[in-house]
Amino acid sequence: MDPVTPVAIAGIGCICSAGLTLKDSMKSLYRGDRRPAPPVCFPSSHPYAFPVFEIREDFSASLIWQEKDVFRTCRLAVKAALEAIDNAGLDREFLKKKRVGVCIGTNVGCCVNNEAFYLNHRERDGLLALPASRFLMSNPTSVMAAEFCADGPLQTVVNACSAGSDAIGLAASWIRTGLCDVVIAGGADELYQVTYTGFKSLLIYDEAPCKPFDAGRKGLNLGEGAAIFILTSEDIRKESGKNPRGFLWGYGSTTDAHHPTNTRPDGLGLKMAIQEALGAGGIHPGDIAFVNAHGTGTRDNDLIECRVLNEILPGVPFLSTKGYTGHTLGASGAIEAAFSIACLEEGRIPGSAGFTTPDPELGPAWPVRENCPVSGRIALSQTLAFGGNNAVLIVGI
Amino acid sequence: MYKQISNQKHQISSGSGDPLKIGIKGIGVLGGFGCGIAELERALLCGSSPQCTVAVNTLEGSLDVPALIARTDRLSEFVDKGALRRLDHYIRMALLGSYLALEDAGMIDAKLRRMGIIVATGYGSTCNMMDIQQALNNDAPLISPTRFANSVHNAAATHISILLDEMGPSLSVNDYDVSIPSAFLCACQWLREKRVEAVLVGGVDEYCRALGYNWYRRYHSEDPEKNNPADSVPEHAVMGEGACFFVLTPEADASPYGCIEAVRMGNYTRGRIDAAKDAVYFLSVDAYSEFGDPYAVYLPKETKVASYTHLYGGIPIGMGFDIAIAALSHKVGKIYVSDEGGRYHSDRLNVIRNEEPLGTGGICCLKLGAGGTLGSVQVGRF
Amino acid sequence: MAIKEKLKHIFIETLNLEGVTPEQIKDDDLLFGDKFGLDSIDAVEIVFQVEQHFGVKIRDMKEGRPALQSVNTLAAFIEARQ
């Protein structure tokens, strides 16, 4: 692939259990706050509930939809989008006049509409759940397009855990090729009983708060949230009169082609994705201030990530933020890219929550334990998905 | 009310504004019509697909309703049985569609430097999701990990990449009835950016009992005189399932099927999409887009149109089959007879009722979908 | 049905071991050797099915690995906990 021009990130919004905005989330991270707890939003049939990172606070999201009509994943997405649009110095009226695309990554956002069918089928005499209407209420891309009257391309990326990163990377190409003036891009996922139970059944869910990269790590904890990036063309950026918050320098995407759930042991897929992202942006490994790793807390993922980082980016500080947010699935790549921009602005990264005891197998480098300063204007955020997708974003300020 | 579609926007084309020339090198299809492009052509020539029935549990007992169901027996020609052990019908359909497309392209044993894989789905892996939801509804503390792994929306793409040993980028999309144009949008972008040498792009959707129940609620006759509710069901409302996959390459001149000239996505209610001039339109009409009949409203009067839903059934990725038929039309140089017209007012539009030669305007496959979304894929001659 | 027999039927059905009969699964065959082509997803699937059919829980693969060596070891594990 040819090297590409960086794409402007005009604004960012984020909501997760660490905070209802990006600013509040970062405050929690730097304080080292963690709030894992048993789920409240759905009944857990297990004798004792495994911890999740749930957003307990009320958040209002939309001016168009009634709260009851639209699924939580969509409300999370719209909440983050409102923050991002405001952060970009834009407004709804401005967007209505432009070619606006929407590209959102999600997992749950495409499963929940099935629940209505199932209930129909089970209850027989219940209200008929027409496929189209259920989809429109539950798909974050559709809801976003309706909310902001977007009339450009729409895409809902369902690449499991890398969906949010992939959505941002794909959206950037829409700007570069002139398909749109603006793209509302990111990821969103709510806590859902199917994914919670599914990961427990795979025996990769830790009964205690997760410990990414730690010697005693036993698996992941789920979380929920959304992050949205407003990507704009250079013309729009000039028209808005505001400097962009940052840039997307590169995007790399590969598939392990190995196993439906296990990461490729040689890490080749991740290595190739990192190299592709660096090459796309013309970035040297020495330019990377830090890496926001995927770091789920599972035995295999953390081991392979560490091996790859030690080989390709030796000496570059890295961390996992999933100890603060849980694994937010389709939202994770977007949330972690948002955190990466905020950390570059702050010139420091938080400690990798949950990491206390180094695992000799993961050395020679381990994640940072405490808040630590970083210098540089470019960071790398990587996600490794169920099914073997690897997505790497290189963001900068 | 008639609304002119105006202002060309959101069309992917090459930088100068010239049409894309993305070659359609191979096609793999399976559905109620059978398996493979030859069987799709046979169904086009005879104007129907062999219909079967599926049993739907209702309050009145089990009811047989018409459906166009796909079979995946031919998958064993390409993949060892052992490798298919855990794979369900949904994944098998996607796999078979992929292998058929690669076989048709003469690329089964080709080892490209990098190929992209894109899978679109409107419903996702519904049978698995229903079973999982049933288990949770019965307070199950755990669910089958195999079923959970297979239910994740990117499962089909995952298994395609594993069996093909392809480490290039992979994308799964779920945009209901515009999933196919969404997938083609990305395929063309990847080829334009030179991210990959070729793209295997397609869609898959499966029938499940809850969809059958939905169908029953919609079409079941209350009239005790009517023994067979299917009598009152329009052709395009019969449920379908299947997969359609394409191998796309930048070399349009090597393509027997013509090429992709444009991919458009937008929103027709906000009225900013251009109609391709002189093209014949293949309309992705089915019974599941519930927003009235927009085709007659938004297309210019007398536009030549055809619909082939009767051959593959009502299915969100149905537009993929229309693209296959458009490509076949380019290969053989003719337009096949359309179905009866269904919901698109044949008094306003010029429905193709007899086979006719393919003109120079190309074929525009169009979906006016739920929520006002628009997706179109234009197929032309190189 | 005896535990060992029941396990063999469960494996064939839930792991979709087409063409394999219960007689072909020897009590001391290595379940995760080359004979059956099983992997980590099959391992957690067996854990799930054991809980479903026998009510016996395997908490993690540290506990599961020795138990899942063969039909013999798994039957013994189940018997000790019923």
Closest CA of chain C from B155, distance in Å? 14
Closest alpha carbon within chain B to C35 = B82
Question: Does C17 contact chain B (CB < 8 Å)?
Answer: yes
Confidence at residue A88, expressed as pLDDT on a 0 to 100 scale: 96
Residue B80, domain member (yes or no): yes
pLDDT > 70: what percent of chain A? 92
pLDDT digit string (tens) for chain B, length 382 residues = 223 333 334 455 433 345 688 999 999 999 999 999 999 999 999 999 998 999 988 777 888 888 999 999 999 999 999 999 999 999 999 999 999 999 999 999 888 889 999 999 999 998 998 889 888 888 888 999 999 999 999 999 999 999 999 999 999 999 999 999 999 999 999 999 999 999 999 999 999 988 888 787 777 655 545 444 444 566 567 899 999 999 999 987 668 899 999 999 988 887 555 667 789 999 988 766 544 478 888 888 888 999 999 999 999 999 999 999 999 999 999 999 998 755 555 678 888 999 999 999 999 999 998 888 999 999 998 7
Give the chains touching A; criterion: ≥3 Cβ pairs < 8 Å. B, C
* pLDDT confidence of residue B355: 94
DSSP codes of every residue in B49-110: ---EEEEEEETTEEEEEEEE----GGGGGTS-GGGGTT--HHHHHHHHHHHHHHHHTT-TT-
Domain count of the fold of chain B: 1
Chain B within 8 Å of A371 (Cβ-Cβ)? no
Q: Is the CB of B8 inside 8 Å of chain A's CB atoms? A: no
* Chain A residue numbers touching C40 (CB-CB < 8 A): 259, 261-262
Residue B4 lies in a domain: no
Inter-chain CB pairs, A–C, below 8 Å: 16
- Nearest-by-Cβ selection for B85 from C16, C44, C48: C16
A-chain residue closest to C59, CA distance = A203
Min Cα–Cα distance to chain B from C45, Å: 6
**pLDDT tens digit string along A297-342?**
999 999 999 999 999 999 999 999 999 999 999 999 999 999 999 9
For residue A64, what pLDDT is reported?
Answer: 73
Distance of CA B144 to the CA centre of its chain: 30
Of A293, A296, A295, which Cα lies nearest the Cα of A273? A293
Taking each helix axis from N to C end, the angle separating B155-164 and B89-104, rounded to the nearest 10 degrees, works out to 50
User: Where do the H-state alpha helices sit in chain B?
Assistant: 37-46, 89-104, 126-137, 145-151, 155-164, 179-192, 209-219, 294-298, 309-312, 318-332
Other chains touching B, judged by 3 or more CB pairs under 8 Å: A, C
Residues 50-69 of C with CB under 8 A from B: 51
Among C14, C32, C38, C44, the strongest candidate for a mutation testing the A interface, having the largest count of A CBs within 10 A, is C44
Q: Please give the Cα distance from A53 to A40 (Å, whole number).
A: 10
B241 and chain A: CB distance < 8 Å anywhere?
no
User: Are residues A389 and B209, on separate chains, in Cβ contact within 8 Å?
Assistant: no
Whether the CB of A260 is below 8 Å from some CB of chain C: the reply is yes
Is C44 within 8 Å of A262 when comparing Cβ atoms? no
**What residues of C are in contact with residue B143 (Cβ under 8 Å)?**
48
B178 contacts A201? CB cut-off 8 A: no
Question: Which structural domain range is residue B232 located in?
Answer: 11-380
Contacts of C51 in chain A (CB under 8 A): none
Of B195, B40, B177, the residue nearest B117 (C-alpha): B195
Indicate the burial class of A376 (C-beta count within 10 angstroms; 0-12, 13-18, 19 or more): middle
Domains parsed from chain A with CATH numbers: 7-396 (3.40.47.10)
List of chain A residues whose C-beta atoms are within 8 Å of the C-beta of residue B154: 158-160, 385-387, 389
Instruction: Determine the Cα–Cα distance for residues A130 and B218; give it in Å rounded to an integer.
Output: 9
Q: What is the mean pLDDT of residues A130-145?
A: 82
Q: What is the pLDDT of residues B186-237, one digit of tens each?
A: 999 999 999 999 999 999 999 998 888 878 777 765 554 544 444 456 656 7
Chain A CA closest to residue B132:
A194
Nearest CA in chain A to C49: A201
Distance from CA of C77 to the nearest CA of A (A): 18
Degrees (nearest 5) of the Cα angle B214, B57, A131? 15
Cβ separation of B152 and A386 shorter than 8 Å? yes
Which residue of C17, C19, C48 is in closest CB contact with B142? C48
Domain membership of residue B182 (yes or no) is yes
List B residues 278-337 in contact with A (Cβ-Cβ < 8 A).
288-291, 316
Report the complex ipTM.
Answer: 0.96
Widest distance between CA atoms in chain A: 64
User: pLDDT tens-digit profile of B348-371?
Assistant: 888 899 999 999 999 999 999 888
Q: Looking at the domain assignment, is residue B2 inside a domain?
A: no
**What topology is assigned to C3-81 in CATH?**
1.10.1200
Q: How far is CA A350 from CA A25, A33, A292, A335, A384, in A?
A: 11, 11, 10, 15, 21
Amino acid B94: pLDDT: 98
Domain ranges of chain C: 3-81
Q: Please, which residues bridge with residue A100 across strands? A: A182
Instruction: Kindly report the average pLDDT of chain A as a whole number.
Output: 92
CB pairs below 8 Å between B and C: how many? Answer: 27
Nearest beta carbon to residue C61 from set A203, A261, A262: A203
C4-17 per-position pLDDT tens digit: 999 999 999 999 99
CATH of the domain at B171: 3.40.47.10
Of the residues B146, B152, B162, the best mutation for testing chain C's interface (the one with the most C CB atoms within 10 Å of its CB) is B146
C20 min Cα distance to partner chain A (Å): 23
Specify the DSSP class assigned to residue B314: B
The verdict on a CB contact (< 8 Å) between B145 and C48 is: yes
Q: Is B32 helix (H, G, I), strand (E, B) or coil?
A: coil
